[in-house]
Structure 1
Amino acid sequence: MQKQFKLAALAAALFSGAAMAQSSVTLYGQVDMFVGAVKNPGTGERAWVANSGGMQTSYWGIKGAEDLGGGLKAIFDLNGFYRTDNGRTGRFDGDAMFSRNAYVGLQSDRAGTLKLGRNTTPYFISTILFNPLVDSYVFSPAIFHTYFTATNGTVFDPGIIGDSGWSNSLVYSTPTFGGLTANLIYSFGEQAGATGRNKWGGNLMYFNGPLAATVAFQQVKFNNVPGDVTSPATLAGFDKQNAVLAGLSYDFKVVKLFAQGQYIKSDVTNATGDIKHTSGQIGASVPIGAGSLLASYGYAKAENNVDDFKRNTFAIAYDYNLSKRTDVYAAYFYDKITGAEHGDSFGVGIRHKF
């Protein structure tokens, strides 16, 4: 009996070791902190800050995979934002713990990847990969024109409604064919008797040597004014929003050029009418020494039946790599809306990936 027990224990240990060899769990993330000043358009006062997330929002996560054999893997990712300036979780008070990603899924070499949970939208991925300042919510013109609200006092431009990540969603990504990948997302409204309350979208991504391109689309549809939008009076009667974006980049080695354009239409059934947003962005990344000089210009026009306004933004930054995981940066951002005093932000910061 003792010999059998030892053999069973050895077999269990061997099988346990095999399972461990086929699985992996990784703790990862980044810390970003900057010191500088922020002044929003239309406000005369400048706020001096020591804030989290200058070049990118700080985040941390746990992800893993298990090899199921035959080119199939089980995958998961629990990933959330946090603020280094005050130690709080989320991008803002009330943000979910894992608002960046929280999914489980299957990944196949031949059939593609399916993820269920809270997922980053394909539209957001297309936005950040085709501008030099990526997903900076402090200095990137493309992010401001897409994910920030703006108003001239008459027209309220909500930007993209529905956040950069969608809860209760399914994402399917195809395998890559000749540099081309397709991603599709669907988010359930989860309301009985209201199947039309949903979100869906997708993108095409193409990467081939120095050339990259994308096209993205998404629709956010509700039965009435959405519960996840803080709506001013001009958004009363909001029904749905359609958005389309195209982006292009080319790396000449001495400079990498970026361009993107988008059109967002928010259907509003009130006297002010639909809100139409048209915007574009051009930018460049120039390697200099151990870092890169980053520059971006964005233009937007928002209009409804009553009025319209224009918005011009530009940013310039230098990002210097101290190592593969740590960089320091200095950046300036300018923001002007028709009829309002300009805003601007500037700062120096450090970012570390782990």
Structure 2
Amino acid sequence: MNKLLITGTTTMITLASVAAHAQSSVTLYGLIDAGLTYTNSQITGTGGGHSNWEMTSNAVQYSRWGLRGAEDLGAGLKAVFTLESGFNLNNGQFSSGNRIFNRQAYVGLSSREYGALTLGRQTDSMVDFVAPLSLTGTEFGGTHFAHPLDNDNLNDSFQINNSVKYMSPDFGGLRFGGLYGFSNLAGGFANNRAYSFGMSYVWGALNFGAGYLQLNSSARTPGQLNTNGAVTDTTGSSLQAARSPTDVPLGVLASSQKTFGAGVNYTFGPAVAGFVYSHSKFAQFFQTGLSGTFQNFEGNFRYALTPAVELSGAYTYSRAGGNGGGGIPHWNQVSGMADYRFSRRTDVYIQGVWQRVSPSGTSPLGVAWINGVTAPSSTSNQVEATVGLRHRF
């Protein structure tokens, strides 16, 4: 009888363990993007501009791997987490040298009825609500299609540390959300903090989104940066302080960055047409009192030629303004891409970008620099072309 009791107890424990396991899930996922890129002009240490053939990682989308998990707590409530690491395929290194999970790292609760509340390193509302309507924020354009220097972060060049984020459920096509990133600094509540909010609405073929992001920092020199604050590094090539050694967005080295944007997509048959506007204002660079703004106007188009072939293109007009002097530049950028899917997971693509900036004057922004390209051009024009392969798992 004792043996039977022991056996029965063991069986019950095993069944309970299986039941608990069935209510939880952990998924390993990732994306690998590799290509060969030609750029017609890049400044080198010897001066002047030189063409460059190079193997590239992340030409369209950032290579990454991650773990995503959920535990069913009952009554429509789940515990959720995501840990995501970006890497450079060329050398196998993390895309951020001091972080393992440099793209996302958060845990929280998700409810079908009330939405999701998460804590950790997360994306802001410009990335969540506006970027999907721009080709730079999607698999149909990505890194090189970004607005000049990714000044509005639509290409997700940086994420927000120390953040609490709320995302609503879907209310008949309407979703909204917000985020707050703490400075984590005693006596410096506003020194490198961030907050963001946005919304989206889907009505039939129409998809609309809007967002706002603000960064505040008391540090305007690299030595004074609060390195435990909301934004401390980038995983891509966002607008930086003359590519400073700190490798941080310019907004962190200004007293503030205020970015807002909105976009709309309309689907008709196999085609999608869209328009996106964004505006970024940077105040008091490097304790100089100088301020500047960027405005971006993007028209984009996608067309599914066949179930396996997708064509996409965008035209972006950007202009800068402010009291920096040296001429106020504006940019014209034309981007195009053709993609062929071997399967749901694997595809090949060819894409190209032409960018022209004028007038150059004596502004430090007076030379062309396509986002994601290793170095700026020596002239007001730059051309990039990439042939690449992507695989998802």
Normalising to structure 2: TM-score of the pair? Answer: 0.81
Aligned residues: 341
Moved more, 203-212 or 160-169: 160-169
Shift in Å at residue 352 of structure 1? 1.0
Are residues 1:181 and 2:166 paired? no
Partner SS, residue 55 of structure 1: coil
Partner SS, residue 89 of structure 2: coil
Structure 2, unpaired ranges of 5+ = 226-231, 234-239, 245-249, 361-366, 368-378
Shift in Å at residue 131 of structure 1? 2.0
Moved more, 79-88 or 177-186: 79-88
Shift in Å at residue 251 of structure 1? 0.6
CA 202–193 in structure 1, closer or farther in 2 if over 3 Å, else same: same
Cα distance between partner residues in 2 of 1:88 and 1:348: 22
Residue pair 1:41, 1:335 contacting (<8 A) in 2 also: no
Partner SS, residue 20 of structure 1: helix
Matches within 5 A, 1:214-253: 214-225=209-220, 227=225, 228=232, 231=241, 238-253=254-269
Are residues 1:106 and 2:99 paired? no
Residue equivalent to 1:70: 75
Cα distance between partner residues in 2 of 1:237 and 1:325: 40
Partner SS, residue 46 of structure 1: strand
Cα distance between partner residues in 1 of 2:265 and 2:21: 41
Residue equivalent to 1:96: 99
Partner SS, residue 7 of structure 2: helix
Amino acid at match of 1:238: A
Matches within 5 A, 1:141-180: 143-145=146-148, 147=150, 163-180=157-174
CA 41–260 in structure 1, closer or farther in 2 if over 3 Å, else same: farther
Cα distance between partner residues in 1 of 2:75 and 2:335: 48
Residue pair 1:187, 1:199 contacting (<8 A) in 2 also: yes
Shift in Å at residue 299 of structure 1? 1.0
CA 49–277 in structure 1, closer or farther in 2 if over 3 Å, else same: same
Matches within 5 A, 1:108-127: 108-127=111-130
The equivalent position to 1:303 in structure 2, one of 314, 317, 321, is 321
Deviations 1:11-51 (A, max 9, x none): 11010011011011100111111112135677621221111
Are residues 1:60 and 2:65 paired? yes
Amino acid at match of 2:241: S
Residue equivalent to 2:13: 12
The equivalent position to 1:210 in structure 2, one of 198, 205, 208, is 205
Partner SS, residue 14 of structure 1: helix
Amino acid at match of 2:266: Y
CA 63–331 in structure 1, closer or farther in 2 if over 3 Å, else same: same
Deviations 1:246-277 (A, max 9, x none): 10000112421011001111111766632111
CA 235–183 in structure 1, closer or farther in 2 if over 3 Å, else same: closer
Amino acid at match of 1:223: S
Shift in Å at residue 237 of structure 1? 7.6
Partner SS, residue 129 of structure 1: helix
Residue pair 1:225, 1:235 contacting (<8 A) in 2 also: no
CA 102–263 in structure 1, closer or farther in 2 if over 3 Å, else same: same
Are residues 1:255 and 2:271 paired? yes
Residue equivalent to 1:153: none
Normalising to structure 1: TM-score of the pair? Answer: 0.89
The structure richer in strand per residue is 1
Percent of residue pairs identical: 27
The equivalent position to 1:283 in structure 2, one of 295, 300, 303, is 300
CA 236–33 in structure 1, closer or farther in 2 if over 3 Å, else same: closer
Residue equivalent to 1:154: none
Amino acid at match of 1:173: M
Shift in Å at residue 88 of structure 1? 1.5
Matches within 5 A, 1:305-344: 305=323, 306=325, 307-338=327-358, 339=360, 340=367, 341=379, 342-344=381-383
CA RMSD of aligned residues (A): 2.5
Shift in Å at residue 96 of structure 1? 2.0
Partner SS, residue 147 of structure 2: helix
Cα distance between partner residues in 2 of 1:114 and 1:205: 18
Residue equivalent to 2:237: none
Partner SS, residue 139 of structure 1: helix
CA 63–159 in structure 1, closer or farther in 2 if over 3 Å, else same: closer
Cα distance between partner residues in 1 of 2:11 and 2:341: 49
Residue equivalent to 2:3: 2
CA 24–10 in structure 1, closer or farther in 2 if over 3 Å, else same: same
CA 216–50 in structure 1, closer or farther in 2 if over 3 Å, else same: same
Deviations 1:308-337 (A, max 9, x none): 111111111101111111111000111112
Shift in Å at residue 161 of structure 1? 12
Residue equivalent to 2:372: none
Cα distance between partner residues in 1 of 2:344 and 2:153: 34
Shift in Å at residue 241 of structure 1? 1.1
Residue pair 1:171, 1:186 contacting (<8 A) in 2 also: yes
Structure 1, unpaired ranges of 5+ = 149-157
CA 190–161 in structure 1, closer or farther in 2 if over 3 Å, else same: farther
